[in-house]
Amino acid sequence: MADDERRHGGGDYEPGTTDERVGMQALEERGLDPVELRERLIDAIGAEFSTYYYYTNLRMHLAGHEDYKEITEDARLEDRAHFELVAPRVYELGGHLPVDIGDFMGRASCPHAELPTPMEGEGVDPSELDAEGILEVLLEAERCAIRTWSEVCDMTHGKDPRTYDMASRILQEEIEHEAWFVELLSMERDGEINPAGHFVRGEPGDAPYSTNRRINDSA
């Protein structure tokens, strides 16, 4: 069989061109706008990057609640893993991350998970800050993430297996995170047992679904 007769041996582009991407053309042929998807992904990982930063601050103010701090740390590092998992996909779709971090954070698909208290000078008024308020912020941040990645899954299901795989893996962890903070807030605020089945990850931020393992990783 001649090379030019092979089913997928050629396409609409000149051989060797770098101006076009067959990976994007394949999405268009399946009815998905790759540019729209790319922009949604930038917004989504902007929220993950924002959450990673703000969870750092929230965790610091959970002093005296070491169990809460540990679980928040798992969620914090896993949100960083989500950003790192999807960022390369933006470039595969012909895009790039915003050059200015302010622009990036301005595009985030979720509100910033800020401390639930007014700042006073260089510090925080401890009378305005408690574990309940912080857990509420953490919980709502996870719920926004679930909505975000559910939308990406809906966009890509049956059309873009690569992005769908990433989004569905992230979504599984975000659903776990929501359950963790429901459990903690239920007990902290209401004195109710509302189990999530949380257990310590193998390592902090292990991200069992979203971390890409090396091929030779024996773990």
Answer yes or no: are the C-beta atoms of 149 and 167 closer than 8 Å.
Answer: yes
In a domain, 4, yes or no: no
What b/e sequence results for 85-104 when a residue is b if at least 16 CB atoms lie within 10 Å of its CB, and e otherwise? bbbebbeebebebeeeeeeb
Q: Which residues contact 123 (CB under 8 A, 6 or more apart)?
A: none
Q: What is the mean pLDDT of the chain?
A: 87
Q: Tell me the C-alpha distance between 167 and 44, whole Å.
A: 10
Task: Look at strands 119-120 and 123-124 and give their pairing.
Answer: antiparallel
In a domain, 141, yes or no: yes
| pLDDT digits 0-9 by tens, 102-153 | 999 999 999 999 998 755 555 555 555 799 999 999 999 999 999 999 999 9
In a domain, 166, yes or no: yes
pLDDT for 122 equals: 52
pLDDT for 215 equals: 44
Quick check: 10 pLDDT over 70? Answer: no
CATH number at residue 90: 1.20.1260.10
Question: pTM for the full model?
Answer: 0.87
In a domain, 15, yes or no: no
Most confident of 4-13, 65-74, 210-219: 65-74
Number of domains in the chain: 1
Q: Which amino acid is at 5?
A: E
The length of the chain is: 219
State the CB neighbour count (10 A cutoff) for residue 219: 7
Residue 205: band (very low, low, confident or very high) from pLDDT cuts 50, 70, 90: confident
Helix H, strand E, coil C: the string for the chain is: CCHHHCCCCCCCCCCCCCCCCHHHHHHHHCCCCHHHHHHHHHHHHHHHHHHHHHHHHHHHCCCCCHHHHHHHHHHHHHHHHHHHHHHHHHHHCCCCCCCCHHHHHHCCCCCCCCCCCCEECCEECHHHCCHHHHHHHHHHHHHHHHHHHHHHHHHHCCCCHHHHHHHHHHHHHHHHHHHHHHHHHHHHHHCCCCCCCCCCCCCCCCCCCCCCCCCCCCC
Q: Which domain holds residue 36?
A: 27-112+130-190
In a domain, 160, yes or no: yes
Closest listed residue to residue 55, CA positions, set 74, 70, 76: 76
pLDDT for 99 equals: 97
What b/e sequence results for 146-163 when a residue is b if at least 16 CB atoms lie within 10 Å of its CB, and e otherwise? eebbeebbebbeebbeeb
In a domain, 200, yes or no: no
Provide mean pLDDT across the span 182-194. Answer: 94
In a domain, 76, yes or no: yes
| pLDDT digits 0-9 by tens, 157-184 | 999 999 999 999 999 999 999 999 999 9
Quick check: 219 pLDDT over 50? Answer: no
In a domain, 5, yes or no: no
